[in-house]
Amino acid sequence: MMLVVATALAARPPVQPGLDLKTFVVGVFPYDHVLFEDPDCACVEPAAQGLTDLRLKLDERRGRFAIEAHHTATFATADVDLAGQTGVARRAPQLVDGTWNAVDARQMSLAGRVDRLNLQVTVPHVDLTLGRQAISFGRAFFFSPLDLVTPFDPSIVDQEYRPGVDAARTDVWLGTAGQVAAVVAWMGDPGDDLVREHLTATGYAQGTLGLWDLGAFGGLVRADPVLGAVAAGSAGPLGLRSEATVTLVDDPFVRASAGADWMPMPDLYLSAELYLQTLGADGPDDYLTQALDPRYVVGELWLLGQRYAGVSASWKVHPLWTVGTGAIANLGDPSVLLMPSIEGSVSDEVSLTASGFVGLGERPPDWSTSAPAFASEFGSWPSAFFLALKVYA
C-alpha cells in the first residue's frame, strides 16, 4: 500500500549540539639567513607554540527553519604567534564584531569568536540564509579562483572549517543539480563604512550537462567586476574539474585552474592541479612589491607568481592511518612547498595528525649587502612542523 508520508526531510532527527576540541603544537625552524637575524625578532631561533581550539556547535533543523551557531575559543601559549601557520582561529571579515579577548598577555592568550550564526528558511526550491555562514562556489582542491568570498589557503593545517562571513544568501534549486545563487557578503571590519569596497555581491548559476556540472559566476568583489566559470565532471575513473575568473579592472587579470582526481586502487587517492594567475609577479625580484598589493593584504590572493602546479597523494596504509604528501610548485622560480602528513584515527571520535611544510628552492640573498628581495617563493619559507590531536563529540 502506498503510504503518503509528510516530507522525509522533515522527519530527520534533529542534530544534537556538539563540540570539537583540537590541540596543536607548532614548531618553526628558520634557516640560517640574515632575514631572521633581527635581534628584536622572535624569529631568530626555532620557536614553538601550543594552541587549543574549542568549537561549540549547534546545528538544528526544525521543519522549514534551520539554525547554525558555532562559537570558537582559542587558547595559545608563547609570545610568537604561529597560529597563522596552522589556520587555527582563522577569522573572516565581519560586519558585527563577534570576537572577544579574555587574556592577551605576552606568554598566553585566550580569545574567541562567533564563527557561524545564521538562520536558514527553506521554501520549495528556495533556501534563504542570513547571518554568519561559510560560502564557497569553487570545486578546486589547491587553487580555487571562484572562492573569492573566503579564499582557502592550502598551506595551512587546519582546513576543517571555512571561516564564516556575514552574508545574505539566496539559493534557488531547479531539478536535480540546477542552482541559482545570489550572495551579498560583508568584506570589511566592524565599523567600516557601508561602501562597495567593503561588500561582495555575486551571483552563481549551475546546471548539469551529461556527467558534467557547469556553472557561471559574476559579480562585484570589493567593487571589482568579476566573471567566472566552473566545470566539474568525470571521464572514466577520473574526476575532472576546472574553474576560471577574470577580474575586469583597468588591467584585467585571469585566474584559472584545472585538475584531476584518481583512485588507482581503493586505498590510494591522487590529485593534481595546474594554476595560472596573470596578476602574479614576473619573477622573484618583484615578490616583495607583489606581497604589498592590497589583494594580498586582504587575503584575496596569496601566491606571488604566475604559474603553479599542485599534487597530492593520500595512501591509507592501514584502515586507521593515512599517509599523505602534497606539494605546491611555483613553476617560474622554480620552488616547491612540500607538505608531508600522517593522520591516524585513535578512535571513532579522536584523530592524531602530524604534518609539516618544507620550502625547497633558492634562499633569499643576503639583505645586508643587497636590496631586500627573494630568490624564489617557497625557498623563502622556513620549515614548520605540527602535531594535532582532535576530539569530536
Partner 1 sequence: MILLSALALAAEADLGVLLDKVDDVARGGSSHALITMAVKTDRYERTVQLEVWSEGSDKSLVVIREPAKEAGVATLMVGDQLWNYMPRVDRTVKLPAAMMSDGWMGSHVTNDDLVKSSRMADDYDAELRHQPDATHSTWMLSLTPKPEAPVVWGRLEVELTADELPLAIAYYDEDGRLERTMSWEDPRDFDGRRVPAVLLVKPADSTEYTRITYDSLAFDMVHDPSTFTLQALRR
By CB under 8 A, name the binding residues for partner 1.
1-5, 7-13, 15, 18, 59, 61, 66, 122, 124-125, 127, 133-136, 138-139, 152, 159-162, 171, 173, 175-177, 179, 208, 211, 213, 232-239, 241, 263, 266, 318-320, 345, 348-349, 351, 390, 392-393
Closest to partner 1 by CB, 231 vs 311, is 231
Closest to partner 1 by CB, 66 vs 337, is 66
Closest to partner 1 by CB, 196 vs 318, is 318
Closest to partner 1 by CB, 29 vs 269, is 269
CB-based contact 259:272 (threshold 8 Å): yes
CB of 64 to partner 1, least distance (A): 11
CB of 323 to partner 1, least distance (A): 16
> Which cell numbers hold the place of 125?
526550491
Closest to partner 1 by CB, 115 vs 333, is 115
CB of 222 to partner 1, least distance (A): 20
Closest to partner 1 by CB, 223 vs 311, is 311
Integer Cα distance of 317 and 58 in angstroms: 35
DSSP per residue over 5-57, as a string? -S-TGGGSPPPPPEEEEEEEEEEEE--S-GGG--TT-TTSS-EEEEEEEEEEE
Can you give the C-alpha Rg of the chain in angstroms? 22
Q: What is the largest CA-CA distance in the chain?
A: 86
Closest to partner 1 by CB, 3 vs 194, is 3
- State the DSSP code for 235: E
Q: Which residue has the cell 558534467?
A: 212
CB of 309 to partner 1, least distance (A): 20
Q: Which residue has the cell 551571483?
A: 203
Integer Cα distance of 354 and 359 in angstroms: 17
Q: Which residue has the cell 572577544?
A: 100
CB of 59 to partner 1, least distance (A): 7
> What b/e sequence results for 197-225 when a residue is b if at least 16 CB atoms lie within 10 Å of its CB, and e otherwise?
ebbbbbebbbbbeeeebbbebebebbebe
CB of 393 to partner 1, least distance (A): 6
Query: What Å distances lie between residue 228 and 219, 254, 257, CA to CA?
Result: 9, 9, 12
Closest to partner 1 by CB, 13 vs 39, is 13
> Which cell numbers hold the place of 156?
595551512
CB of 176 to partner 1, least distance (A): 5
CB of 29 to partner 1, least distance (A): 29
H/E element holding 289? helix 287-291
Closest to partner 1 by CB, 18 vs 190, is 18
The residue type at 12: R
- State the DSSP code for 331: T
Backbone angles phi, psi at 133, to 5 degrees: -150, 160
Closest to partner 1 by CB, 27 vs 239, is 239
Among the listed residues 57, 53, 81, 61, the one whose alpha carbon sits nearest the alpha carbon of residue 70: 57
CB of 255 to partner 1, least distance (A): 18
Integer Cα distance of 239 and 256 in angstroms: 17
How many separate helices (H) and strands (E) can be counted in the chain? Answer: 3, 19
CB of 234 to partner 1, least distance (A): 4
